[in-house]
A and B are shown apart, each in its own frame.
Chain A
Amino acid sequence: MSTYARQTGRTVTLPASLDEAVAALAAMPAAVPVAGGTDLMAAVNSGLLRPAGLVGLGRISEIRGWSYADGHALLGAGLTHARMGRPDFAALIPALAAAARAAGPPQIRNAGTLGGNIVTAAPTGDALPVLAALEATVVLAGPDGSREVPVSHLLTGMDPLRPGELLAFVRAPLLHAPQTFLKATARTGPGRATASVALVLDPARRGVRCAVGAVAPMPLRPLEAEAWVAGLIDWDGDRTLEAEACTAFGEYVAMACIPDPADHADPANPAAGELPPAVAHLRRTVAALARRALGRALS
């Protein structure tokens, strides 16, 4: 007799449509959806997670591509990083393509998906600052129909995924202007971000939108810095800025995302107001990334 049988009780369903997938989850509330499995299976294999069942999303062709609707792209949650990294996608949403190309080694990019990246919501998720800068929304499909929430509400937990719900699509604006995504890592080979910056230009709204990833549990938006720099740009002209302005923008962004512990300034202990060296370096990194990102978007 072996206790082996106990562990084989898992059921795996492979629905072919979103509706079937929602129904499968409703039929088995303890089941967990799995897309590329690059986050989920690591947790399963290390024994951290023992799902009673799996609902595989890999066969749902309607979420593996994208479509257009009134100036937006509706991106399927099942788009892989590899697919998003290709030139045709890069022509649509360049920053998301850049983030996809920077997300892990090729094996991971071939399997890992946009939806998985969002639901995992890791601070180092590379798609997340891009979606924050794009002010994208997500379309959630559940037993009671679908609803749409800003990606930031999902990531902050303001409006989390409800039981039985699947992330179906991401609605992202098509801005027809330069975008950048820059990621600092600890090595030359693939690695998680120590800091990342996504920056998009929105000429129609005369806006610059920027989000900083990996330095906080969720992407941070330096709204004042965005507004300040948008006001400097000659939107009807050649949209260039002096190098000093880019540098100042970088520092503005960095100060906003990694503020001084100034409130605690204690005259008896002057060091209290100083950032620890590693944090100071992180701030310098964010400043350099934001400056480079803006410079590249405007060049």
Chain B
Amino acid sequence: MTGPDAVTATPAVVASGTPAAAGDEESPRGLGASVPPADAEAKARGVFPYAADLWAEGLLWAAVLRSPHASARIVSVDTTAAAAMPGVRAVVTHADVPGAATHGRRVADRPVFAHDVVRHHGEPIAAIAADHPDTARLAAAAIAVEYEVLEPVTDPETAFEAPPLHPDGNLIRHIPLRCGDPEAVGEVIVEGLYRVGRQDPAPVGAEAGLAVPRPDGGVELYLASTDPHADRDLAAACFALEPDRVKVVVTGVPGAMADREDPGFPLPLGLLALRTGCPVKLVATREESFLGHAHRHPALLRYRHHADAEGRLVKVEAQLLLDAGAYADASSEALAAAVAFAAGPYVVPNVFVEGWAVRTNNPPSGHVRGEGAMQVCAAYEGQMDKLAARLGLDPAEIRMRNVLSTGDLLPTGQAVTCPAPVAELLTAVRDAELPPLPDAEDETEWLLPGGPEGAGEPGAVRRGVGYGIGMVHMLGAEGHDEVSTATVKVADGEATVICAAVETGQGFATLARQIVQEVLGVEEVAVVAADTDQPPAGPSARGRHTWVSGGAVERAAKMVRTQLLQPLAAQFGMSVELLAIADGKITSYDGVLSTTVAEALEGKELWATAQCRPHPTEHLDEYGHGDAFVGLAFAAVRAVVDVDIELGTVRVVEMAVAQDVGRALNPRQVAARIEAGVTQGVGMALMEDLRAPRGVVKRPTLTGYPLPTALDAPVVRIVKLVEERDVVAPFGAKAVSAVPVVASPAAVASAVRAATGRPVGRLPIRPQAAVAKPAGA
């Protein structure tokens, strides 16, 4: 048997403390500085090890057989031919799952392998381990499955009436939200129907992993997991093992803006390793990746807005329908966010929302950055544009008349206690200088919609300006225990952080280094790779780690600081507060004491472990009421677009962003996160939609699913970061990644409306929705 020693595991964070500029007196350190990530150079040079680079002596290769149908009854599965192929070492199906037959991050409703029915295209049915990846794939193809193909349920509106697709039924959650007077009416009423397509998180690196059996009968899973403890518990339940016999080791994460790993492959991987006694590796193809992992919920949103003659909102009525796909996954949370934020960051006295998440045979939906909040933002901002047009008001002005601020109530009844500088954000983007119009003299300098070699014609191009204001909640909602634990160690003047918060590229490892530098004054800080031998830190999502894991690191560092300084303070008869640490030196306020951290340690190691747990939240009740969220973050985006109104091609010229960040702990990292979020939002607005006619994904490739390229990515201009500390958040900082994703698609749609005069109710915006009659025609 091959033990774990044979594995060349790749640590998630190769943070040897300091990047290339180490020792440089000028190198930034501490909170508020633009400390570069320790792995930036390795990533830029292409030598950073990702999950797909894992290797173990004698490893086997896995392949997963997936359903070609969206809905079918499995009549039989015959693996004999596959098992008999030379080089094949094991074949596993549902019959080989020793433990729980179903799993799920939130609701255990998803089978490890489909056996009686398949509920979506790409659902795993069997897995193979063989001595070569091609052999494994060929063997998977040689498994004979007889299907009785069923009529798929692909229109979420029909899911209510359709026969149940699952023993749990087709209605995953219904939230009726009632706030205020249902009879209230406004002087103007506008209605709208909005549709949002299926965005794929499309991580740069597809799923990959390695499972290594342990001599004690357990197994180690080397994965680019974003929530290692949850993945471990899920795997242990399916393998019928004690959780401590399964270890998840986090390897380099090649991009994550969602729950990263599709559990449909680490589970087969682990089963195959346990079955064969050999390490087993799997590298998903892009096609499998598109089919397996969770997508953004497609949504159908019906709205009616009532306003008075001045444009002040009187009532918002909405029906929100989220397509969950075949399994529950994060749909319940997505729906809670969609319902709670259905009216947007506006003050509305009367709000009535019906929200549903339903099961269909479409590709699975789950947690993708800005879940729920993004879809409704596209709709409520569309409604604000409609009201503005109806009342003859400027789109920014009507928004300004309704903005939410601290102290206002959400329709859920929760009071907004955190900073909510919405008016300030909107003012900043509204008043920012507009990008210059292209030079009519020199058309060659003008990047037209359609690109440099495209068919664009300057005479057909119209420019439009639009707005989107988004809000998201931070951390898990509705009573989730959002705890995180971190350990800080200091020895020889160097510090180490041990925390299972996964560095997904979001910058947690850099932040942890900055925190320890700030508190302990040591320059060299290593952040250890995450694994499940460490205490849980929870998922890398919703800006959690900046808050709870950053908070835990700070507390642990402060405890170490006290341990370090207490003996000195006692010796010199002063309180710890009168001692300062900076640049590895400890000095007293009066300069009497001056020593180094290394000397003060006297060869000792100091350790401290601490937890951070935000204040508890409540479940939304039967009226959609409750203090469901720990904190909120806001952003305003002004989009400037050029539209070729004959071809309907759109180019986003500039996105001006103002964001409520609480405190910019690492300004460069904040800017990078905003740029990434805006670009993802532009993708949602203009091109990203995983089409699945009749439930079957037609072109699960990066040719069939276009993403924004450098030519599509707009200039992102951060016009303002509002740094109003959130007193309940560690360091006063708010999460920054999700809210630009939420506001950007709405802003682009608003700008296209302005350029074309068309309603633009569907995202992504299709060219036929952006064609217009030339003025005067």
Q: Tell me the A residues contacting B by CB distance below 8 Å.
A: 1-4, 6-7, 46-47, 98, 101-102, 105, 182-192, 194, 277-278, 280-281, 284-285, 288-289, 292
Select from chain A the residue with minimum beta-carbon distance to B710: A189
Chain B residues with Cβ below 8 Å from A292 are 455, 457
Chain B residues with Cβ below 8 Å from A289 are 455, 647
Chain B residues with Cβ below 8 Å from A187 are 451, 686-687, 706, 708-709, 711-712
B70-114 interface bits toward A, Cβ cutoff 8 Å, 1 = contact, 0 = none: 000000000000000011000000000000000000000000000
Which of B131, B454, B709 contacts A3, CB < 8 Å?
B131
Chain A residues with Cβ below 8 Å from B732 are none
Given A190-B451, A285-B647; A4-B131 close (CB under 8 Å): yes
A153 to B130, CA, bound (A): 46
B251-265 interface bits toward A, Cβ cutoff 8 Å, 1 = contact, 0 = none: 000000000000000
Q: Is B229 on the interface with A (CB-CB < 8 A)?
A: no
Candidate in A185, A187, A190, A292 with the most chain B CB atoms within 10 angstroms: A187
Shortest Cβ-Cβ A-B pairs, 8 listed = A189-B709, A3-B87, A281-B768, A182-B455, A189-B711, A102-B453, A288-B646, A2-B131
Chain B residues with Cβ below 8 Å from A284 are 646, 771
Q: A187-B687, A188-B649 are in contact. List 12 more A-B contacts (CB 8 A).
A: A7-B134, A183-B455, A185-B454, A186-B649, A187-B709, A188-B709, A188-B711, A189-B709, A190-B709, A278-B768, A285-B646, A288-B455
Q: Tell me the B residues contacting A by CB distance below 8 Å.
A: 86-87, 130-132, 134-135, 137, 285, 287, 447, 449-451, 453-455, 457, 460, 646-649, 651, 686-687, 703, 706, 708-712, 766-768, 771
Given A7-B132, A187-B686, A188-B449; A281-B703 close (CB under 8 Å): no
Chain B residues with Cβ below 8 Å from A189 are 451, 706, 708-712
CB distance from A129 to the nearest CB of B (A): 13
Select from chain B the residue with minimum beta-carbon distance to A287: B646
Chain B residues with Cβ below 8 Å from A1 are 131
Given A192-B703, A284-B646; A184-B450 close (CB under 8 Å): yes
A281 and B457 form a contact (CB under 8 A) = no
A285 to B447, CA, bound (A): 20
B768 and A185 form a contact (CB under 8 A) = no
CB distance from B82 to the nearest CB of A (A): 13
B767 and A186 form a contact (CB under 8 A) = yes
Chain B residues with Cβ below 8 Å from A101 are 453
Chain B residues with Cβ below 8 Å from A98 are 453
Chain A interface, >50% SS class = mixed
B130 and A3 form a contact (CB under 8 A) = yes
CB distance from B275 to the nearest CB of A (A): 19
Cross-chain pairs A/B with CB under 8 angstroms, 26 sampled? A3-B86, A3-B131, A3-B132, A4-B131, A46-B285, A182-B455, A183-B453, A184-B767, A185-B454, A187-B708, A187-B712, A188-B447, A188-B450, A188-B451, A188-B649, A188-B712, A189-B709, A189-B712, A191-B451, A278-B766, A280-B768, A281-B766, A281-B767, A288-B455, A288-B460, A288-B647
Select from chain B the residue with minimum beta-carbon distance to A194: B767
A152 to B544, CA, bound (A): 60
A288 to B459, CA, bound (A): 12
B450 and A4 form a contact (CB under 8 A) = no
Chain B residues with Cβ below 8 Å from A190 are 451, 709, 711
Select from chain B the residue with minimum beta-carbon distance to A279: B768
CB distance from B447 to the nearest CB of A (A): 7
CB distance from B756 to the nearest CB of A (A): 13
B132 and A185 form a contact (CB under 8 A) = no
A5 to B130, CA, bound (A): 13
Chain B interface, >50% SS class = loop
Chain A residues with Cβ below 8 Å from B710 are 189
CB distance from B90 to the nearest CB of A (A): 14
A192 to B687, CA, bound (A): 13
Candidate in B454, B686, B766 with the most chain A CB atoms within 10 angstroms: B454
A215 to B137, CA, bound (A): 35
B768 and A277 form a contact (CB under 8 A) = yes
Candidate in B86, B130, B135, B453 with the most chain A CB atoms within 10 angstroms: B453
A280 to B646, CA, bound (A): 12
Chain A residues with Cβ below 8 Å from B709 are 105, 187-190
Which of A3, A102, A105, A281 contacts B771, CB < 8 Å?
A281
B706 and A186 form a contact (CB under 8 A) = yes
Chain B residues with Cβ below 8 Å from A46 are 285, 287
Chain B residues with Cβ below 8 Å from A277 are 768
B130 and A185 form a contact (CB under 8 A) = no
B285 and A184 form a contact (CB under 8 A) = no
A280 to B648, CA, bound (A): 13
A6 to B710, CA, bound (A): 41
Select from chain B the residue with minimum beta-carbon distance to A280: B768
A46 to B132, CA, bound (A): 15
Which of B132, B134, B137, B648 contacts A281, CB < 8 Å?
B648
Chain B residues with Cβ below 8 Å from A2 are 87, 131-132
A35 to B706, CA, bound (A): 26
Chain A residues with Cβ below 8 Å from B131 are 1-4
CB distance from A290 to the nearest CB of B (A): 10
Candidate in B651, B708, B712, B768 with the most chain A CB atoms within 10 angstroms: B768
A47 and B137 form a contact (CB under 8 A) = yes
CB distance from B564 to the nearest CB of A (A): 53
CB distance from B761 to the nearest CB of A (A): 13
A1 to B646, CA, bound (A): 63
A3 and B447 form a contact (CB under 8 A) = no
CB distance from B637 to the nearest CB of A (A): 19
Chain A residues with Cβ below 8 Å from B287 are 46
A109 to B86, CA, bound (A): 41
B132 and A184 form a contact (CB under 8 A) = no
Select from chain A the residue with minimum beta-carbon distance to B686: A187
Chain B residues with Cβ below 8 Å from A47 are 134, 137
CB distance from B64 to the nearest CB of A (A): 14
Select from chain B the residue with minimum beta-carbon distance to A196: B455
A186 to B649, CA, bound (A): 7
Chain A residues with Cβ below 8 Å from B455 are 182-184, 288-289, 292
Select from chain B the residue with minimum beta-carbon distance to A99: B453
Candidate in A1, A185, A189, A194 with the most chain B CB atoms within 10 angstroms: A189
Select from chain A the residue with minimum beta-carbon distance to B132: A4
CB distance from A248 to the nearest CB of B (A): 15
A182 to B457, CA, bound (A): 11
Chain B residues with Cβ below 8 Å from A191 are 451, 706
A278 to B691, CA, bound (A): 15
A102 to B453, CA, bound (A): 5
Chain A residues with Cβ below 8 Å from B454 are 102, 182-185, 188
CB distance from A171 to the nearest CB of B (A): 26
A288 to B457, CA, bound (A): 10
A185 to B648, CA, bound (A): 10
Chain B residues with Cβ below 8 Å from A194 are 767
A277 to B648, CA, bound (A): 13
Chain A residues with Cβ below 8 Å from B647 are 184, 285, 288-289
CB distance from B713 to the nearest CB of A (A): 8
